[in-house]
Amino acid sequence: MARQPSIRALRGEATRYSRPGSAKEGAILDAATRLFGERGFEATHTADIASAAGVTERTLFRYFSSKEKLYRRVMVPALLAAAVPRALDDAGELFATDANHFSDWQRNILDQRVAAARRAAPQFRLLIAGMMTDESVRRRVIGIWEEKVRAPLLATVRRFQDRGQLRSDLPPDVLARAIISVNLGYIIARALIAPDAAWDDRAEIDATVDVLVRGAAGAIARDSDPSGKP
């Protein structure tokens, strides 16, 4: 398997691709980002992209000689925008941040990631679609995760375990996966699935943090668990 690209390499590649050379190229990139994100690579046709961009398919191919090259052009910035918090230098800094209490740390994570996902919703949608359909994209995201997210997150989980703010009877990996799953569920619903719903972000984030801190059932589950487990 090829070596996973580093964050620095992706930044350099994204910089080369970031700015369109003309208004027509920009329109093609905007249309491709939206359609690839909505339909995935296979179901998106260059004729549809050209139509959505207001250009002919011949014009599209003057800028991009193949659908694969156009896909790569929009995917590289999408990877960077969606995998790395926009407000910080990299994802590791966000997950490595400390707070007096786990709930404060978790609330800050959701505040930062929801804002980033909303700013880059088309790219975020494209990244999700790419991970579902393109093995090379999935490997890239896994490489970024292993390099910049997993280790700082596990260190933070252990820190809160040592302080008695997270359960010590569960491995850090288990808790980290639960935290990420809850975060992604809220972020995807908020930024991608129902972005125009009447969200009360503060109340929703507070409730999500409360579920992570105290559980969904709490004392009710302990009192009614037929196994008698605490």
- What confidence tens digit (pLDDT) does each residue in 44-64 have? 999 999 999 999 999 999 999
**CATH code (residue 155):** 1.10.357.10
- Which of 15-29, 89-103, 154-168, 204-218 is modeled with the greatest confidence? 154-168
Q: Band the pLDDT of 68: cuts 50, 70, 90.
A: confident
Is 72 a domain residue?
yes
Is 225 a domain residue?
no
Question: ∠ at Cα 113 (73, 17), nearest 5°?
Answer: 15
User: What's the mean pLDDT when you consider all of the chain?
Assistant: 79
Is 224 a domain residue?
no
Distances (CA, A) of 94 to 91, 137, 202, 215, 219: 5, 23, 19, 24, 32
pLDDT at res. 116: 77
Is 220 a domain residue?
no
Tens-place pLDDT, residues 142-198: 777 777 788 899 999 999 999 999 999 999 999 999 998 998 899 888 888 888 888
Is 190 a domain residue?
yes
pTM of the model: 0.63
User: Which residues fall within 8 angstroms of residue 218, CB to CB, at 6 or more apart?
Assistant: none
Range of the domain at 197: 7-215
Q: Band the pLDDT of 81: cuts 50, 70, 90.
A: low
Q: How many separate domains does the chain show?
A: 1
Helix/strand/coil percentages in the chain, nearest 5: 75, 0, 25
Give me 190's structure tokens: 């908020």
Q: Band the pLDDT of 87: cuts 50, 70, 90.
A: very low
Give me 214's structure tokens: 């105290």
Is 16 a domain residue?
yes
Is 32 a domain residue?
yes
Is 21 a domain residue?
yes
Residues 230, 220: Cα–Cα separation, whole Å: 11
